Amino acid sequence: MTSAAFTIPLWADLLSIGIGSLQGAMFAAGFRDRRLDLLGVAIIGIATGFGGGILRDVLLSQVPAALQTNWHLIVATGAALLGMLLERIFHRLRHLITVLDALTLGLFGAIGTTKALSLGLPVVPAIFLGAISAVGGSILRDLLLNLPIALMHVSSLYAVAAIAGATSLVGLVALGAPIATAATVCVALTVVIRVLAVLFSWTLPEQRALAWR
């Protein structure tokens, strides 16, 4: 199944990366007991904002899109420093940021899935790459901070929302829907699942609850 990649305007791409980077820096700045310096915060911001796209492009054997303009690194670094300096203010906006982050999750998932399809990958790896694009930044952030990977533990359907969105996109494209429609449904479904999961504390079952004994 080969189809066109879904692309978004540069400003929307930069805004998404900025939101990811801002969140990563706020997260890093929350650790009062670690002596992260300015550069450490910038690295966490860049890794959170870029990580998903970089993992996606490395797995697709391409030079990462984020390294092909000057803007991506400038926006990610700027947003990270802003997130660190104004952590208090942004903390008050955390509900808005959760919604924006869910939107970013959906957008990155749609971009990753359609990029994989457009390069001729089968549907299951395309969904996998969409999910990696969406959540890779959060995995890299936790690895670099030497923390347990948040999304592998009981939490509010972060990766599940991305996988559901990517799956809906692949299904709609298989049924012949235009790429823009499929991508829009992917983003909407991701946002709805993620936001409802946060609101109602939906989680996946813990593994030990399921093991047969």
Q: Is 60 exposed, middle or buried (0-12, 13-18, 19+ CB in 10 A)?
A: middle
Binding flags for a copy of itself, 66-85, as an x/- string (CB under 8 A): xxxxx-xxx---------xx
Angle at 128 between CA 197 and CA 103, to 5 degrees: 40
Cα separation, 179 vs 72, in Å, equals 25
Residues from 152 through 181 that contact a copy of itself (CB under 8 A): 152-155, 159-160
Cα separation, 99 vs 102, in Å, equals 5
Our finding on whether 93 is near a copy of itself (CB under 8 A) is no
Closer to a copy of itself by CB, 2 or 70: give it: 70
Angle at 44 between CA 37 and CA 65, to 5 degrees: 135
Q: Which stretch binds a copy of itself (CB under 8 A): 4-12, 107-115, 149-157, 175-183?
A: 149-157
Our finding on whether 208 is near a copy of itself (CB under 8 A) is yes
Our finding on whether 92 is near a copy of itself (CB under 8 A) is no
Which of 19, 22, 100, 121 touches a copy of itself (CB under 8 A)? 121
Our finding on whether 36 is near a copy of itself (CB under 8 A) is yes
Our finding on whether 149 is near a copy of itself (CB under 8 A) is yes
Distance set, CA 23 to CA 13, 67, 191 (Å): 16, 21, 17
C-beta of 180: minimal distance to a copy of itself in Å? 25
The count of other CB atoms within 10 Å of the CB of residue 10 is: 11
Closer to a copy of itself by CB, 19 or 44: give it: 44
The residues, any chain, with a CB within 8 Å of residue 16's CB and separated by 6 or more, are 8, 103, 104, 107, 108
Note whether 135 and 151 are within 8 A (CB). Answer: yes
Residues that bind a copy of itself (CB under 8 A): 28-29, 32, 34-41, 43-44, 54, 58-64, 66-70, 72-74, 84-89, 119, 121-125, 128-129, 139, 143-149, 151-155, 159-160, 203-208, 210-213
